């Protein structure tokens, strides 16, 4: 076998009895040293794998935080727009309660905005869904 073929055979089958006959060949000696070094360095390999896993988890965690941040930003933007609409219809009213509304409640607010209601009626109807 050529050195290249020997290298492929060793990589595929490891160093076995058939290969030990060719121990004087440089490729066999080199690959044997490399394999021993890898076996001795198994702890480093394990630590490197753990580090890679930790980095992958960190990256996934960052993406999740980013998704959450985008969702929070969208919710805040929607609530700000909703407050602006309510302020336009009912100026000079305290609207801090809108910040505590969930998605269903925000949908109800949007529906009630288009009805001809006084602020008190509007607020009472919303309170039914908030409480």
3-state secondary structure of 11: helix
Q: How many whole angstroms separate alpha carbon 42 and alpha carbon 105?
A: 58
- Quick one: which of 63, 101, 66 has its CA closest to 82? 101
Q: 79: pLDDT confidence band, cut at 50, 70 and 90?
A: confident
Q: 125: pLDDT confidence band, cut at 50, 70 and 90?
A: confident
Half-sphere exposure of 28 (CA within 13 A, CB side): 15
Q: How many whole angstroms separate alpha carbon 80 and alpha carbon 96?
A: 10
What integer pLDDT is reported at residue 78 of this predicted model? Answer: 87
Tokens of 25: 């060949």
Whether the predicted pLDDT of 2 surpasses 80: no
What integer pLDDT is reported at residue 112 of this predicted model? Answer: 86
Whether the predicted pLDDT of 131 surpasses 60: no
The 10s digit of each residue's pLDDT in 39-48 is 666 677 677 7
What integer pLDDT is reported at residue 105 of this predicted model? Answer: 82
Average pLDDT over residues 63-69: 87
What integer pLDDT is reported at residue 28 of this predicted model? Answer: 67
Q: How many whole angstroms separate alpha carbon 114 and alpha carbon 61?
A: 42
What integer pLDDT is reported at residue 43 of this predicted model? Answer: 72
Q: 104: pLDDT confidence band, cut at 50, 70 and 90?
A: confident
Q: 123: pLDDT confidence band, cut at 50, 70 and 90?
A: confident
Main-chain phi, psi angles of 106, to 5 degrees: -65, -40
Q: How many whole angstroms separate alpha carbon 9 and alpha carbon 121?
A: 84
Contacts of 15 (CB under 8 A, 6+ apart): 28, 31, 32, 35
Q: How many whole angstroms separate alpha carbon 68 and alpha carbon 5?
A: 54
What integer pLDDT is reported at residue 63 of this predicted model? Answer: 86
Half-sphere exposure of 95 (CA within 13 A, CB side): 20
């Amino acid at each position: 076998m050529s050195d290249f073929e020997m290298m492929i055979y060793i990589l595929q089958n490891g160093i076995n009895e058939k290969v030990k006959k060719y121990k004087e060949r440089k490729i066999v000696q080199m690959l044997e040293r490399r394999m021993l070094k890898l076996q001795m360095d198994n702890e480093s390999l394990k630590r490197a794998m753990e580090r890679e896993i930790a980095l992958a988890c960190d990256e996934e965690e960052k993406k999740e935080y980013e998704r959450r941040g985008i969702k929070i930003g969208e919710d805040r933007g929607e609530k700000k727009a909703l407050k602006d609409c309510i302020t336009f219809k009912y100026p000079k009213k305290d609207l801090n309660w809108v910040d505590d509304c969930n998605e269903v409640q925000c949908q109800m607010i949007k529906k009630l905005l288009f009805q001809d209601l006084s602020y008190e009626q509007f607020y009472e109807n919303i309170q039914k869904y908030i409480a």
